[in-house]
Chains A and B, each alone.
Chain A
Amino acid sequence: MKELVVLSGKGGTGKTSIVASFAALAQKKVLADCDVDAADLHLVLKPEIRQDNEFWSGQVAVVDEGKCTECGLCQELCRFQAITDFKVDPISCEGCAFCSHICPVEAIKMEERLSGRWFMSDTKYGPLVHARLGIAQENSGKLVATVRQQARAKAKRQNRNYIIIDGPPGIGCPVISSLSGVSLALIVTEPTLSGIHDLDRVVDVCRHFNVPVQVCINKYDINEDNVHHIEDYCRSHSLEIAARIPFDNAVTEAMVLGTPVVEYRATAVSWQIELLWQHILEFMKKEGRNASI
Chain B
Amino acid sequence: MIISVASGKGGTGKTLVATSLALALKDREKVQLLDCDVEEPDAHIFLRPVITRSEPVSILVPNVNAQKCTYCGKCAEVCAYHAIAVLKGHVIVFFQLCHGCGACSYLCPEKAISEMKREMGIIEWGHADGVEFVQGKLSIGEAMPTPVIREVKEKASHDAVVVIDVSPGTSCPVVESIKDSDFCLLVTEPTPFGLNDLVLAVETVRKLSIPCGVVINRAGVGDGKVEQYCVEQNIPVMLTIPMNSGIARLYSKGITLAEGLPNWKKEFARLFERIGEIVRERACSLKR
For the complex, what is the distance from the CA of A10 to the CA of B217, rounded to whole Å?
17
* A170, A174, A197 interface centre (most CB from chain B within 10 Å): A170
Which residues in window 90-114 of A have CB below 8 A to B?
91, 94-98, 101-102
Among A79, A252, A255, the most chain B Cβ lie within 10 Å of the Cβ of: A252
> Which residues of A in the span 103-128 have a Cβ within 8 Å of any Cβ on B?
none
Cβ-defined partner of A201 (8 Å) among B140, B193, B200, B252: B140
**B40: A residues at CB distance < 8 A:** 9-10, 169-171, 194, 197-198, 201-202
Q: Quick check: which of A11-19, A152-160, A268-276, A277-285 contacts chain B, the rest being far away?
A: A11-19
Asked if A98 and B106 make an inter-chain contact with CB atoms under 8 angstroms apart, the answer reads yes
User: Chain B's nearest CB lies how many Å from the CB of A172?
Assistant: 5
A97-B103, A169-B169, A172-B145 known; A12 vs B10 contact (CB < 8 Å): yes
In this assembly, does B249 line the interface, its C-beta being within 8 Å of a C-beta of chain A? yes
What is the CB-to-nearest-CB distance from B39 to chain A, in angstroms, rounded to a whole number? 4
**Interface segment, B23-31, B155-163, B203-211, B259-267?**
B203-211
Instruction: Annotate A160-197 by CB proximity to B: 1 below 8 A, 0 otherwise.
Output: 00000000111111111000000000000011111001
A205 touches B101 (CB 8 A): no
B189-235 with Cβ < 8 A to chain A:
191-193, 196-197, 200, 203-204, 207-208, 221-223
Pair B193/A40 contact, Cβ less than 8 Å? yes
A252 to B190, CA, bound (A): 10
CB pair A170 B167 closer than 8 Å? yes
Measured between beta carbons, the chain B residues less than 8 angstroms from A171 are 39-40, 138, 140
Decide if B145 touches A136 in the complex (CB within 8 Å).
no
Q: How far is the CA of A78 from the CA of B131 in the complex (A)?
A: 35
| Chain B residues positioned under 8 Å from A193 (CB to CB) | 42, 45, 252-254
Which of A101, A209, A223 is in CB contact (< 8 Å) with B107? A101
B38 (CB) vs chain A CBs: closest residue: A172
Residues of A within 8 A of B252 (CB): 190-193, 222-223, 226
B94 at interface by CB-CB < 8 Å: no
Using CB atoms, name the residue of chain B closest to A15: B10
Q: Is A71 an interface residue (CB 8 A)?
A: no
Residues of A close to B80: CB separation below 8 A: 58-59, 95-97
Q: Is A67 an interface residue (CB 8 A)?
A: no
Instruction: Flag if A173 contacts B143 (CB, 8 Å).
Output: yes
- Taking CB atoms, residues of chain B closer than 8 Å to A79 are 60, 100-102
Among candidates A96, A136, A174, A258, residue contacting B81 with C-beta atoms closer than 8 Å: A96
Which residue in A58, A77, A133, A197 is a CB contact (below 8 Å) of B106? A77
Asked if B99 and A94 make an inter-chain contact with CB atoms under 8 angstroms apart, the answer reads yes
Indicate with 1 or 0, residue by residue over B118-162, a CB within 8 angstroms of chain A CB atoms: 000000000000000000001011111100000000000000000
Question: A237 to chain B: which residues have CB within 8 Å?
Answer: none
Residues on B with beta carbons closer than 8 Å to the beta carbon of A252: 191, 221-222
Chain B min CB distance to A60 (Å): 11
Tell whether, in the assembled complex, residue B143 and residue A101 are in contact, meaning their CB atoms are under 8 Å apart. Answer: no
> Which stretch of B85-93, B170-178, B270-278 is in the interface?
B170-178
Interface residues on A, range: 35 or more
User: Which of B40, B101, B140, B221: most chain A Cβ within 10 A?
Assistant: B40
The complex places the Cα of A137 from the Cα of B248 at a distance, in Å, of: 34
Q: Are B9 and A38 in contact (CB under 8 A)?
A: yes
Docked pose: A191 CA to B143 CA in angstroms: 27
Q: What is the bound-complex CA distance between A133 and B175, given in angstroms?
A: 13
CA distance A37 to B103 in the complex (A): 29
- The answer to whether B191 and A102 touch across the interface, beta carbons within 8 angstroms, is no
**Cα–Cα distance between A12 and B197 once the two chains are bound (Å):** 12
**Contact: B140 with A91, CB < 8 Å?**
no
What is the CA–CA distance of A202 and B101 in the complex, to the nearest angstrom?
Answer: 28
Q: Are B170's CB and A136's CB within 8 A?
A: yes
* Known A96-B80, A204-B140; contact A40-B42, beta-carbon cutoff 8 A: no
A135-B203, A170-B39 known; A94+B101 contact, CB < 8 A: yes
Within 8 A of A (CB), among B234-263: 245, 248-249, 251-254
With both beta carbons as reference points, the residue of chain A lying nearest to B203 in the complex is identified as: A135
Q: Which of B11, B145, B172 contacts A12 (CB 8 A)?
A: B11
CB distance from B63 to the nearest CB of A (A): 16
B101 close to A96 (CB less than 8 A): yes
Contact between A172 and B144, CB atoms less than 8 A apart = yes
A12 to B193, CA, bound (A): 10
State in angstroms the CA–CA spacing of A222 and B11 once bound together: 15
A:4-45 near B, CB below 8 Å: 8-13, 16, 37-38, 40, 43
A293 CB-CB contact with B under 8 Å: no
Contact of B248 among A97, A173, A222 (CB under 8 A): A222
Interface assignment of B168: CB less than 8 Å from any CB of chain A: yes
Given contacts A169-B40, A170-B168, A194-B42, contact A43 B196 (CB under 8 A): yes
Provide the bound-state CA to CA distance between A244 and B252, in Å.
Answer: 17
Would you call A136 and B204 a contact (CB within 8 A)? Answer: yes
Docked Cα-Cα span, A96 to B75, in Å, equals: 12
A190 proximity list for chain B (CB < 8 A): 252
Tell me if A223 and B249 are in contact (CB < 8 A). Answer: yes
Chain A's closest residue to B142 (CB) is A172
Q: Report if B15 contacts A (CB, 8 A).
A: yes
Does A286 reach chain B (CB closer than 8 Å)?
no
**Given contacts A37-B171, A172-B143, A209-B141, A192 and B251 within 8 Å (CB-CB):** yes
Query: Can you give 7 contacting A-B residue pairs, CB < 8 Å?
Result: A12-B11, A16-B193, A135-B170, A172-B144, A190-B252, A255-B222, A258-B192
